Amino acid sequence: MDPSRNGSELTTGQKALRGFRLHRDSGMSQAVAATIAGSTERQVQAVGAVLGKLPELEEQIAAGEITLNAAQVAAGYRQHKPVSGRGNWFGKGDKWVEVANAMLAYLAGWKNRGYQFTHLPPKEAEKRVKAIDEIIAGLQEARADLVQRSVRATSSLAR
């Protein structure tokens, strides 16, 4: 772990790993080790399970290069669930309603927190910046087409 970081700047995975190492190396209970590390017992258990399957992830978690959630996915303990539900049907594969509502809900949750993503390691933050840039560029192109369609639809209506 980076010694220049204080406890409040550590990722969830780094704190959980610190708790797991305390538990493993000292024999103290997971609950006590988690409390000392600033984590939860469940997160310490999750790190232990991940490292039981993929011990090579220990250094990546320690460096903050991979999140605890991503490590759990890599180890097969979690899956990314696709957006589901029934929305308006506008053609084959058009999931606008589901995707837009999911993104709006995500943004609303983070707006309440001031868009502070302190739990993310730098590499994950960099990946998200690139993804956001791609999303914005795609949305701008989609918006241009939709503006044209909406203008045509309103200008061709009988008055």
User: Which value, in Å, is the radius of gyration of the alpha carbons in the chain?
Assistant: 22
Query: In this structure, are residues 71 and 50 in contact, taking their beta carbons and an 8 Å threshold?
Result: yes
- pLDDT 10s per residue in the chain (159 long)? 444 444 458 999 999 999 999 999 999 999 999 999 999 999 999 999 999 999 999 999 999 888 898 889 888 887 655 545 555 556 666 777 778 878 888 888 888 788 888 888 899 999 999 999 999 999 999 999 999 888 876 665 554
List Cβ neighbours of 153 (8 Å cut-off, separation of 6 or more). Answer: none
Query: What span, in angstroms and rounded, lies between the C-alpha atoms of 98 and 80?
Result: 16
Between CA 108 and CA 131 the distance in angstroms is 18
Residues in CB range of 61: below 8 A, 6 or more apart: 13, 14, 16, 17, 47, 50, 68, 71
Give CA separation, 6 vs 15, 37, 83, in Å.
Answer: 11, 12, 37
CA dist 151 and 147 (Å) reads: 6
